[in-house]
Amino acid sequence: MANKGNSVNIKSDGAKAAGAYHHGDLRAAVIAAGLKRLETDDGELGLRALARDVGVSATALYRHFPDKEALLDALADEGLRRLGALQAQAWLKAGGGRAGFKAIGIAYVRFAHDEPALFRLSFTRQMPERYRDEGSDGGDVAYNLLRAGVGEALPGVTDPDIAALHAWALVHGVAMLVLDRRVDWDEAMVEKVVGLTFGGVD
C-alpha cells in the first residue's frame, strides 16, 4: 500500500486529533461507532453521522464503505462474528459434547437478549456473495460450530445438516419470542427449553 494511502485527514476536533488513522484502523473505528449507535433506539447509521463520530470527513469512509448498504453488511457480519465467538467460548467452557451443544444454544438466545438491535440486523441482512467468496461471512463460524455440535451431542443423527437446522430453528424461535416480548427473558426457562432439543431432558 502506498504511503500516501495510509492515512486520511482528521478534523481538528475529531476523535483521534493527535494523529492519523491507518485505513484498517478507520474501518474498525467506524464499525465500532456503528455498533455503539445500534445500542440506542434512534441510532442513525448514515455514513455522515458515523464520520462525525470518528472525526473524519464522509468521503474518507467511501474507501471502505461505498454506500450505507456496505456499512450495514459489515455491521451484520461483525454481529455474526461476535455470536460465533460467544458460542465457541460457551462450548469450550462447558467441555464440549452434550453440555457444550446445549451451551451454544443458550449463548445464542442470550446474545439476542443482550444485543437485540445487532441480532436483528445480523439476521435480516441478505449477505452478499462477496462475503462468501472472501471467506469472511461471520455466520459460518456459528453454523459450523452448531453442525459439529450435532455430531458430538447426537451421534445417532444421520443428516447433521437437518439436525443443525432443527436446532437453529429452535433457538432462533426462542430468541425472537424474547425480542418480540411474547415471553419474558428468563435464563433458567431458556436453559430448559433449549435442553429439550440440545441433548434431551436431564
| In the chain, where the domains are located | 3-66, 69-197
- The answer to whether 51 and 34 have CB atoms below 8 angstroms apart is no
Buried b (16+ CB within 10 A) or exposed e, 12-25: eebeeeeeebeeee
- The answer to whether 104 and 152 have CB atoms below 8 angstroms apart is no
What's the pLDDT tens digit per position in 136-163?
A: 556 677 777 777 777 777 777 788 888 8
Q: Three cell numbers at 26?
A: 478507520
Average pLDDT of every residue of the chain? 79
- The answer to whether 17 and 55 have CB atoms below 8 angstroms apart is yes
Looking at domain 69-197, its CATH superfamily turns out to be: Tetracycline Repressor, domain 2 (1.10.357.10)
pLDDT greater than 70 at residue 183: yes
- The answer to whether 105 and 197 have CB atoms below 8 angstroms apart is yes
Question: 93 versus 198: which is more confidently predicted?
Answer: 93
Reported pTM: 0.79
The number of beta carbons lying within 10 Å of the beta carbon of residue 112 is: 24
Residue type, 116: P
